[in-house]
Chain A
């Protein structure tokens, strides 16, 4: 029987993997990943208005041009604005400059004027609409300049002005000696975990669909009778569970690999002319990763990873069991599609709760839900990452999931045995409940 189980598992896996569709979809996924990770560069390759240099003429009546220029550049750089700005002091007559503005010339004139009550006012003059981002950048720079200008006008010294405009230093002190202070870790950790969970969410949807289609195909062609006359329903059921779980693991690893390939490609083209076109984004990416690393998220993830992976695997198996049992009960793929709706909703509830876990910090409901099998793979890892549960509690969720998986396999098999050879929907639920009572 072991050889037959191996054969059926291989056959079922081949049916999913050795198809043109699988290969085609995976090539498409790889291309999508590469596109997604390098989207800024792709945009840069195709070009557009953002590439052209915008000249900002400053008509300065307050002698604050240098400060405006410095502040504007600093703001533009920190916000990662893709447009190139050239700030310059106007040396022409203002009215003459205004007349030069036309469709070809999209320069902007910033006219800084004195105001009796508010120290400063400004006019932004352009031929066409300059867009929200540019307007906000100019406004922010003007407001910053105004604060300094007002302080100087009020007779404050440079030191006083610096003290006034410098940001307030805020330090966090925790009196609990057992915990480390990791500011912002929860949000970053939850974000990292949700990135892991999202593909699992889609993989489970795929898994449920595949088992349903396969079991129904075998039932509707009556080949199920030939198969079950040669192998036990248990072997057949196990082969479906193994094959579909293996499939989602393979697909999951492939998705991870595509992500790595996409990042490698991004790094490889980092030193080329493209990089110059799109700004030093590789550096930015590294900075983000360093920031995430600084919060201790990776070490936390690595510590819990073996348990999280077991929990994921058990959840795949559990969903495969449930899908197999439901598929065995139905007589057509249409019936199965209706019956699988509750499974979809369960996964969606889990996913939404995982997203809400950060917002509803310490929620008892979400913590209890993290122990509920079928939901725990979505919630426990997130709660663990944001520090709401410990690694031991994560392990307890995994143990509960393992026990639950064994129970649903034991009782699910009883339904499966009867369901796969049942072709009538008459008294279906009665038959299934009756099969649950069967001893073998």
Chain B
């Protein structure tokens, strides 16, 4: 289990991370979200031991992060962190050996992963010769070759087509099943929503929202009401508590600021005709994120 306790990090006068606390249990996927510059990379760098927190502590299975535990961590960086002049095989041996693995074991695992990702023919090819998507697969393999107990995935689906995204998702789910703790960061909220059981949203290094995803959604008072039928849109807009009315091809979505306004909307809808649907749904994570971050998300 990874525990981040009251961690603060200063760069000179600038506070990059402010009293951040969270924990990732074994077999769980945790989302670390925030706009660019929110402090995600600094947090990742502290977790893998590249940076020392100014205050607070980080432990993995009760041990502080140092070179005695980093062999059990896998890190997939947002940018390509591959030595492009090496071949796929050389690269994986390089990173695997740095994780304390024996070459024989690295090669065995490499063959399994190459087969799983359908890129066996690229084993002896130089990384610079591969496509962006295939480079991302190699980067993923380099992060998981040591069967990490803690897996940090920063934008893992970058440069991948939907089929390969699916392939990565299956692999990540397998690590979850094996009991690895996974920290996941992505600008694609649907991916986070699909994966993460709990999350934290950072704004300027400070946590503005944290907890179980289900609970966050439940606690979030805003709701979306989906309506199908002929309803007076101007009347809906005039109702108290209505934030926005969105007209789609076959439905109307009414966004309300609080679930106490549901009945008022329902009363107005009853005045309409041909009503075939009236359903109340939780908002998407993207909406929650935007409302918390308070600015247009830079995707």
Q: What is A's interface to B at a CB cutoff of 8 Å?
A: 1, 3-4, 7-8, 11, 217-218, 221-232, 421
Q: A221-B84, A225-B81, A421-B51 known; 18 other A-B pairs, CB under 8 Å?
A: A11-B94, A217-B85, A218-B83, A221-B80, A221-B82, A221-B83, A222-B79, A223-B83, A225-B50, A225-B75, A225-B77, A226-B75, A226-B95, A226-B142, A227-B98, A229-B70, A231-B98, A421-B45
B50 touches A7 (CB 8 A): no
In whole angstroms, what is the CA distance A217 to B97 when docked? 20
Chain A positions within 8 Å of B48 at CB level: 225, 229
A223 touches B82 (CB 8 A): yes
Can you show 15 pairs from A to B with CB atoms below 8 A apart? A4-B97, A11-B94, A217-B83, A218-B83, A221-B80, A221-B83, A222-B79, A225-B45, A225-B48, A225-B75, A226-B81, A230-B95, A230-B98, A231-B98, A421-B45
B83 touches A4 (CB 8 A): no
Minimum C-beta distance from B104 to chain A (A): 14
The verdict on B49 contacting chain A, using a C-beta distance below 8 Å, is yes
The verdict on B71 contacting chain A, using a C-beta distance below 8 Å, is yes
Binary per-residue interface labels of chain B (193-206) against chain A in the complex, 1 for a CB within 8 Å, 0 otherwise: 00000000000000
B91 to chain A: closest residue by CB = A223
Q: Which 3 A-B pairs have the closest CB atoms?
A: A230-B98, A222-B81, A229-B48
A230 touches B99 (CB 8 A): yes
The verdict on B73 contacting chain A, using a C-beta distance below 8 Å, is yes
Q: What is B's interface to A at a CB cutoff of 8 Å?
A: 45, 48-51, 67, 70-71, 73, 75, 77, 79-85, 94-95, 97-100, 142
In whole angstroms, what is the CA distance A200 to B142 when docked? 39
Given A229-B70, A229-B75, A232-B67, answer yes or no on A222-B97 (Cβ-Cβ < 8 Å).
no
B98 touches A226 (CB 8 A): yes
Main secondary structure of the interface of B (DSSP, over half): loop
Minimum C-beta distance from A193 to chain B (A): 39
Q: Specify which of B45, B49, B83 lies most central, judged by the most chain A CB atoms within 10 Å of its CB.
A: B83
B51 to chain A: closest residue by CB = A421
B65 to chain A: closest residue by CB = A229
Chain A positions within 8 Å of B49 at CB level: 229
Chain B positions within 8 Å of A232 at CB level: 67
B45 touches A7 (CB 8 A): no
A7 touches B81 (CB 8 A): no
A228 to chain B: closest residue by CB = B50
A222 touches B67 (CB 8 A): no
Chain B positions within 8 Å of A221 at CB level: 80-84
Chain A positions within 8 Å of B94 at CB level: 11
Minimum C-beta distance from B231 to chain A (A): 53
Minimum C-beta distance from A291 to chain B (A): 50
Given A221-B80, A221-B82, A221-B83, answer yes or no on A229-B95 (Cβ-Cβ < 8 Å).
no
Chain A positions within 8 Å of B98 at CB level: 4, 7-8, 226-227, 230-231
Minimum C-beta distance from A211 to chain B (A): 16
Minimum C-beta distance from B30 to chain A (A): 19
Chain B positions within 8 Å of A218 at CB level: 83
In whole angstroms, what is the CA distance A230 to B142 when docked? 13
B103 to chain A: closest residue by CB = A7
Minimum C-beta distance from A117 to chain B (A): 81
B12 to chain A: closest residue by CB = A427
In whole angstroms, what is the CA distance A226 to B75 when docked? 7
In whole angstroms, what is the CA distance A221 to B79 when docked? 8
In whole angstroms, what is the CA distance A232 to B50 when docked? 9
Minimum C-beta distance from A259 to chain B (A): 32
B98 to chain A: closest residue by CB = A230
Q: Specify which of A3, A8, A228 lies most central, judged by the most chain B CB atoms within 10 Å of its CB.
A: A228
In whole angstroms, what is the CA distance A230 to B96 when docked? 10
Minimum C-beta distance from B195 to chain A (A): 23
Chain B positions within 8 Å of A8 at CB level: 98
Given A7-B97, A229-B48, answer yes or no on A223-B81 (Cβ-Cβ < 8 Å).
yes
In whole angstroms, what is the CA distance A427 to B95 when docked? 32
A222 touches B77 (CB 8 A): yes
B83 touches A229 (CB 8 A): no
Chain A positions within 8 Å of B73 at CB level: 229
In whole angstroms, what is the CA distance A77 to B95 when docked? 68
Minimum C-beta distance from A418 to chain B (A): 11
In whole angstroms, what is the CA distance A8 to B100 when docked? 12
Chain B positions within 8 Å of A227 at CB level: 98
Chain B positions within 8 Å of A421 at CB level: 45, 50-51
Chain B positions within 8 Å of A4 at CB level: 97-98, 100
Chain A positions within 8 Å of B84 at CB level: 221
A19 to chain B: closest residue by CB = B85
B94 to chain A: closest residue by CB = A11
Chain B positions within 8 Å of A225 at CB level: 45, 48, 50, 75, 77, 81
Minimum C-beta distance from A121 to chain B (A): 75
A10 to chain B: closest residue by CB = B97
Chain B positions within 8 Å of A231 at CB level: 67, 98
Q: Which one, B45, B51, B67, B79, contacts A230 given CB within 8 A?
A: B67
Chain B positions within 8 Å of A1 at CB level: 67
Minimum C-beta distance from A333 to chain B (A): 14
A223 to chain B: closest residue by CB = B81
In whole angstroms, what is the CA distance A228 to B71 when docked? 12
B71 to chain A: closest residue by CB = A230
A222 touches B50 (CB 8 A): no
Minimum C-beta distance from B73 to chain A (A): 7
In whole angstroms, what is the CA distance A338 to B245 when docked? 60
A217 to chain B: closest residue by CB = B83
Chain B positions within 8 Å of A226 at CB level: 75, 77, 81, 95, 98, 142
B66 to chain A: closest residue by CB = A232
A236 to chain B: closest residue by CB = B98
A218 to chain B: closest residue by CB = B83
Chain A positions within 8 Å of B71 at CB level: 230
